[in-house]
Chains A and B, each alone.
Chain A
């Protein structure tokens, strides 16, 4: 009797089991859970406690709520400022408050944030002056705050390019003996860019303490997630780089804070980068200049209103007796004051100095720039004389 291929196949499972009875799957610890981590139901009720993601302290959650309320009011005010012509454009992050604020709360002040243009709310939640945050979008300069002092890179418009900067910065910090963590905020669309791949890969190879935080809000302007990837989830990309990853319900503030806290702890402990995908939704168009009705149904948007992260956290905190009508009203008033002050400050025309165009091209201007500066100065002087 000869051994048929079928017989060999039948025999092989037994052979494999006996040959490697305890060989661990090298990818086992890296894959995200098959369902996004969720600690609060959409109605704000608590799910059963879990060992992998303990509930964050309730004080932290109350502070998260406060910053989310102020953040949403800021966001509304910024959109209003575009209608008054005070901002050239504004990309809203309404609906993503849990992610915007959660990332910031998971970090220390001396950690670094690498944001995109949609992170205005995160930056204000970090304590950066909102007028400085909006400088880019008002148009008086490209970056209004001091990135070195605020440990926050300029808001990045070339997509995913900051993924590599964060890897370099985090590696450089650890190389110099500092335990700084860098957090990269990016969107679902940007995960298709080469620099996302190169950034995560560099961070993984050099074990740089970076948290890559993908806010999957379902759309890259108009293009849905299905056109970005065929992966089971964006978090599943982590295993390809040999790094752990997790997916989380991005509209569950408690889960977002818990998962990001674990990711930051992992990075700070010297274990290398961590990838987090938050499933969320951009409630507003891409920017005030976009018409979202051309690519998504109102029904879809409505369905996400039921998963509002603010209402969810408020319900939970009220149930825990750390929030009542008085505190809610106080926080709402803080938010109103914040927005009113922003409106007033943005209602003045900023002064811009054409001669400052030459100040920071190089540490010292070249001879050619000195010449051009002189030419502009003469033009300005002539124009001033004409006006006089």
Chain B
């Protein structure tokens, strides 16, 4: 065991995949000699040559479209979108071709590829560098969307993404890049489609993914002082989604708060909240609540702490989970019914 950052684990996953499968090509903007602006591809060009790891023209639609053609020729492209918001020019390629080619051709063509997207905020980035764009991809059938929150998952999920027969949008929480943890690589964690209970608890379930997972875990620790024993479930793979693990947890605890960093309206958290209440209605003692970013464009660095879901906001939500076992009847009074 040694301490390693998520950035290094991702780098190791790319290197090991390139070593195991010579069809794997890594490319994008500044990923060659520089090793990527976050150094995720550091050393790959020196080690595998500039035919396996290379820089491209500065054009995201071109990068993803080029990957489509490479995948059609039998190769395994892994592309980097430098920042979340800079992937938007590629959206047509992703939504109309990457996601649909298998379906359009009844399986005759498939375009296995990994689109790596450093995403979300908390790093003091200026505008267009901190978007949480996962909902756009998760809303697009044909894509898999995964986001690691731990160092082991970063390695294992990326290896699995590269091996997957379908295109995977691999969302890397930037603020977790340089957080370290004990790990022994190579490691394999739970496969795609499995959520994981990061912390067991009896009183309520916090469901989170990506950059929100450490927030949820910290909130769960802090909640002990209030006498709450909270369970934390890490979604890990938004698509395919693990209804079973999450529903089982909520049925045990009877309460649920979904935590995400993205703006809340029409987001992944809304989908999770709906799915939980559809499956756990009779086990719930309170409505499923959401803690998310505000419904605003990602703010300037000096204001981002107001936007980001905090431990306090999570605890406030937990406090509203009707612990007296009485339904909150305020709305009845206000509407004149009570």
Contacts and interface: CB of A to CB of B under 8 A. Distances in A.
Partners in one complex: yes
Interface of A: 141-143, 146-149, 153-154, 158, 161, 163-173, 175-176, 182, 194-195, 198-199, 201-202, 205-206, 356, 359-363, 366-368
Contact of B74 (A171, A172, A206): A172
Interface residues of B, number: 47
Contacts, number: 147
Nearest to B54: A206
A169 B70 CA distance: 5
Contacts of A202: 56-57, 59, 62, 65-66
B92 A170 contact: no
Given A158-B92, A198-B57, A366-B240, A172 B108 contact: no
Interface stretch (B5-13, B98-106, B208-216, B303-311): B98-106
Contacts of B73: 168-169, 171-173, 175-176
Contacts of A363: 102, 110, 165-166
A171 B71 CA distance: 11
B80 to A, nearest CB: 16
Given A176-B73, A198-B62, A362-B102, 8 more contacts: A142-B103, A143-B105, A158-B97, A171-B69, A182-B69, A194-B89, A195-B93, A368-B240
A46 to B, nearest CB: 40
Contacts of B103: 142, 360-361
Q: Which residue of A153, A166, A167, A360 has the most chain B CB atoms within 10 A of its CB atom? A: A360
Contacts of B89: 194
Contact of B105 (A154, A172, A362): A154
B68 interface: yes
Nearest to A146: B108
A206 B57 CA distance: 10
B62 A361 contact: no
Interface of B: 51, 56-57, 59, 61-62, 64-75, 77, 89, 92-93, 96-97, 100-110, 141-142, 144, 165-166, 193, 239-244
A198 B61 contact: yes
A147 to B, nearest CB: 5
Contacts of B61: 164, 194-195, 198
Contacts of A170: 69
Given A194-B89, A202-B56, A360-B107, A176 B65 contact: no
B44 to A, nearest CB: 17
A206 B104 CA distance: 28
A362 B239 CA distance: 11
Given A169-B70, A175-B51, A142 B104 contact: yes
A172 B74 CA distance: 8
B102 A161 contact: no
B48 to A, nearest CB: 13
A164 B66 contact: yes
B72 A165 contact: yes
